[in-house]
């Protein structure tokens, strides 16, 4: 039996930082409100002209270096993003050109904040069935481009960044299971209502009914972590680390409570990164790998929830 394993991780954040105090000068808000309701203190924002693929390339090269794999050896790219550089070619193929791995299948998928979980699940299947041996999985966003900076309800939340992992085949797990879900009934609670076939008639900006999203996110994430434990015959408390989607510290705390995990075993970067959508989980993973908290052999649960709604999880023996 072949498994896939995470051979290397990488991430990248644009240089420009916007603090809560900066936002106080832009919209009717306070540092105190943002910190207590979301846990966010600062976020990184792409420079003019800096694109999603620019951020992804930095993260990808870091993950490849960590895995000891040359860029040209990559044979599969799955790229989660809702903020692509172009309508087409897709971000995966734009990244492929930069890495020089010509001919490898490369694509992007748009499942909002769950984009990395979906990309990881697909790449895992390709490695497991022997069709990919060096699979690059990306989550990268320039959400600042679809944020209404006059809307205090969303401007304080969203940010830019990129994360990457390189998957390789392994005799031992590896990725133990992935679990994906979606429910389009909730479309009106969180969406960006402008697009190609609708003619870009409405504003290109995120709309969200935050309090409703909050409640459903807590419920669905609670269900998917239970599903993940049950699928692997694990009890609560069996995990070494929870690596959650970084949307709101209160959602993260609720999921940790559900798993009976102390917050010291939860990777939290929301204070520094804000909500970077598809980038948030691989970014948090890479931060904790590089600072030495997450070590080889440990058991990790990754989860994310976003627009659609779409949500998912992965159980990984790192």
Question: Could you list the residues that contact ligand ACO (CB under 6 A)?
Answer: 29, 33, 37-38, 112-113, 152-153, 156, 190, 210-211, 213-214, 217, 247-248, 251, 275, 277, 305-307
Q: 299 has which bridge partners?
A: 317
CA 122, 84, 250, 41 dihedral sign is positive
Name the minimum Å distance from CB 226 to ligand ACO.
19
Catalytic choice (20, 44, 101, 113): 113
Based on CB atoms, which residue is closest to ligand ACO, 4 or 38? 38
Quick one: 182 exposed, middle or buried, by C-beta within 10 A (0-12, 13-18, 19+)?
A: middle
SS3 166: strand
CB atoms within 10 A of CB 205: 17
Name the minimum Å distance from CB 293 to ligand ACO.
24
| C-alpha separations of 88 from 84, 119, 174 in Å | 8, 18, 33
CB 127 within 8 A of CB 75: no
Active site residue 275: yes
DSSP state of 309: T
Active site residue 232: no
Based on CB atoms, which residue is closest to ligand ACO, 4 or 255? 255
- Give CA–CA dist 311/87, Å, rounded: 24
Based on CB atoms, which residue is closest to ligand ACO, 128 or 245? 245
- Give CA–CA dist 299/317, Å, rounded: 5
Catalytic choice (20, 90, 248, 275): 275
Name the minimum Å distance from CB 96 to ligand ACO.
26
Based on CB atoms, which residue is closest to ligand ACO, 103 or 184? 184
CB 163 within 8 A of CB 10: yes
Based on CB atoms, which residue is closest to ligand ACO, 39 or 92? 39
Catalytic choice (44, 179, 245, 273): 245
Name the minimum Å distance from CB 33 to ligand ACO.
4
Name the minimum Å distance from CB 256 to ligand ACO.
15
Residue positions annotated with a catalytic role: 113, 245, 275
């Amino acid at each position: 039996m072949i498994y896939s394993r995470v051979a290397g991780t990488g991430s990248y954040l644009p240089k420009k930082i916007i603090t809560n105090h900066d936002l106080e000068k832009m919209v009717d808000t306070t540092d105190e409100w943002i910190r207590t309701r979301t846990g966010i203190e600062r976020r990184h924002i792409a420079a003019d002209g800096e694109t999603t693929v620019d951020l992804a390339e930095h993260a990808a090269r870091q993950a490849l270096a960590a895995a000891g794999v040359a860029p040209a050896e990559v044979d599969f790219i799955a790229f989660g993003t809702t903020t692509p550089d172009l309508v087409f070619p897709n971000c995966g193929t734009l990244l492929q050109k930069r890495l020089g791995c010509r001919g490898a299948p490369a694509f992007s998928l748009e499942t909002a904040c769950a984009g990395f979980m979906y990309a990881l699940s697909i790449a895992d299947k390709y490695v497991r069935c022997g069709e990919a041996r060096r699979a690059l999985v990306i989550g990268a966003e320039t959400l600042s481009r679809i944020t209404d900076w006059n809307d205090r309800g969303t401007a304080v939340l969203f940010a830019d960044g990129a994360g990457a992992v390189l998957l390789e085949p392994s005799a031992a797990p590896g990725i133990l299971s992935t679990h994906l879900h979606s429910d389009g009934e909730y479309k009106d609670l969180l969406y960006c209502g402008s697009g190609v076939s609708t003619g870009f008639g409405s504003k290109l900006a995120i709309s969200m009914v935050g309090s409703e999203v909050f409640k459903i996110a807590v419920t669905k994430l609670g269900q998917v972590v239970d599903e993940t434990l049950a699928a692997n015959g694990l009890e609560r408390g069996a995990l070494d680390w929870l690596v959650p989607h970084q949307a709101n510290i209160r959602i993260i705390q609720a999921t940790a409570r559900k798993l009976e995990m102390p917050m010291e075993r939860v990777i939290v970067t929301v204070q520094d990164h804000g909500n970077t959508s598809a980038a948030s989980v691989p970014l948090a993973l890479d931060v904790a790998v590089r600072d030495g908290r997450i070590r080889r052999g440990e058991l990790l649960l990754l989860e994310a929830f976003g627009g659609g709604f779409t949500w998912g999880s992965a159980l990984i023996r790192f």
